[in-house]
Amino acid sequence: MRKRKEWKRWLITTILVGILWGCAGVQVREPADRFPGDRKWVEKTIRKMSLEEKIGQLVVTRYTGEFFNYDSPYLKNLEELVKKYHLGGLILFGGEALETAYFTNHFQKLARVPLLIASDLERGTGNQVTGATLFPPLMALGAADSEELAYEMGRVTAIEGRALGIHMTYAPVVDVNINPDNPIINTRSVGEDPEQVARITRAFIKGCQSRGMMATAKHFPGHGDTDQDSHSLLPVIRADEERLGRVELYPFRAAIEAGVESIMTAHLYLPALEPEEGLPATLSPRILTGLLRQQLGFKGLIVTDALEMRGITGYFGDEEAALRALQAGADLLLLPPDPVRVIERLTRAVRSGELPLSRVEESLRRVLLAKTRLGLHRHRYVSLERLPLILGRQEFRDLARKAFASAITLVKNDNNLLPLRENKRVILLSLSSDPGDYFAGRRLAAEISDRLPGTTVFYADGDTGKEKLEEAFSAASGADLVVAALFSSLRSGKGTVDLEPVHIDFIKRLKGAGLPVVALSFGSPYFLRHFPEIDGYVCLYRNTPETQELAARALCGEIQVSGHLPVSLPGLFPRGHGLILQKIKEEK
């Protein structure tokens, strides 16, 4: 009994001391480094480096996983950048599986310090590499509201990516898409609710990093509230600090708490955070060091968005932008237009005292420690023979299909037009707002025609003449139902994800003539704002052969539809709205 009292007295005393220390501002010992690594190898490697090598490790350029002869000028240029200028990493932009793995190994053999290979795998490794698994965009996961699917997507992305020699993905997008006219985030975001964005992206991060791939939360401090594309100019976000903290920064805080290893900057100007007129977040010490490092406590890698984008190059010189990004607190400089000139300029800046060597070595240590956590200091190569055993496994494809199907959202179904009845005369209009993609809906047309043999199909794009549209209108006049498949992809530099005005007018005209119209969105969910009077509206969030096939199955009642809008359609439907369409027959 006496021992129990003494133990209680000791416990109470300990708690009181802890409280008093906290009130006095005494710093307690921090927990172990959240991002450990082989520090001995790092310090040994740094001691052997010249200044040029140290700076080269902070610069990253692009490569393509295609076949190249060793005499190729393109290949020789990359080899020189790796061998002579000691680049820290490469970014994969598309390619074939075997070529990607082969040349990844090839570049690793040339590098004295192992390369950090990255890629934009927002929709899985299949987003860049043929043969790997392609997942839907994050907004589809928002529509499914499934943390499990997000975790599995991250896990599969990491398994396939690491098999190819990719160590880091520039995903997930944690931007909160609260601007319906956003031309570059849109379906890349989970949605408009910061809490849901945080939940889904945190699950992706954990799944990805559980299998040894670095995840990257982007675009800090938040790219969701703009109607401009930073690939083309410098957007301005005028929200105050309270709103930024409550909305934009919320998912970044969650990502940091989840242990995300990297954060990508945004080429945005935020007057509430940066008083220097027109200074992008990427170049702002207040935002990168003051806010991200000091206030939010992020200890991982800060990587810039591409320094070749007009959001930077339109306002700053290439070399100045790279220098200011490093001074601001960035660790990796992605895609400067001329890597050699940037390395030379940064070298001169250190030698002149303009850029402290300590700032360079601070970032260098983070980069090298990340490479050791990936195990690259011990083994940097991948097996080409194992690729057919890993990429595109049936279990991976089944997960992706489940994600695509779970996302399908029935927003409107007036008069219960869906599911389609076999005795209905259907006109299918494939309306593409993407240049050069006239037959965007050909897979959908084949799938619907297979189920409803009497279906009439018309294709149109932005260049389709008035005469062809009149022909389609005349045919539609005799139909029981018009199905309008809407295609407008999200592409950097395009400036919009919206529909061609002529297609908007055409749909309004069809409905004005009293025809029942159901529209399928294979992109932005916001299209309904243009013609709210139509009878039915289904969101699929992305145009792929699989979503076209699933659309046909959903329309014909072969699968259940149960997704919910992850964004609100202003003046029409709130976030979370979604009708259930039950399965009524077996798949064809």
Torsion of CA 175, 180, 183, 189, to 10 degrees: 30
- E strand residue ranges, 181-251: 216-220
Q: Exposed, middle or buried by CB within 10 Å (0-12, 13-18, 19+), for 529?
A: middle
H/E element, 399:
helix 394-407
Residue 244 in tokens = 């930024």
Alpha-carbon span 95 to 86, nearest angstrom: 24
User: What is the phi/psi pair of residue 539, to 5°?
Assistant: -105, 130
Residue 248 in tokens = 């934009």
3-state helix/strand/coil string of 303-336: ECCCCCCHHHHCCCCHHHHHHHHHHHCCCEEECC
With a CB cutoff of 8 Å and minimum separation 6, the contacts of 414 are 535, 536
Q: 139: closest CA among 522, 533, 554, 572?
A: 522
Q: Say how many CA atoms lie within 13 Å of 305 toward its Cβ.
A: 26
Q: Which residue bears the tokens 């040994």?
A: 44
- Helix-strand-coil split of the chain, %, nearest 5: 45, 15, 40
Measured CA to CA in angstroms, residue 156 lies from 148, 164, 400, 537, 554 at distances of 12, 13, 10, 32, 26
Alpha-carbon span 228 to 209, nearest angstrom: 32
With a CB cutoff of 8 Å and minimum separation 6, the contacts of 352 are none
With a CB cutoff of 8 Å and minimum separation 6, the contacts of 153 are 124, 135, 141, 204, 207, 399, 400, 403
Q: Report which DSSP code applies to 255.
A: H
Given 167, 219, 223, 231, which residue is catalytic? 231
240 is catalytic: no
Q: Exposed, middle or buried by CB within 10 Å (0-12, 13-18, 19+), for 429?
A: buried
Residue 43 in tokens = 């310090």
Q: 520: closest CA among 426, 454, 585?
A: 426
Alpha-carbon span 174 to 185, nearest angstrom: 10
Given 145, 175, 305, 437, which residue is catalytic? 305
175 is catalytic: no
Alpha-carbon span 268 to 282, nearest angstrom: 8
Kindly write down the DSSP assignment for every residue of 147-186, as one continuous string.
HHHHHHHHHHHHHHHHHHT--EE---B------TT-SSSG
Q: Which residue bears the tokens 């991060």?
A: 205
Residue 484 in tokens = 């309008």
Give the amino acid at 436: G
Annotated active-site positions, please? 231, 305
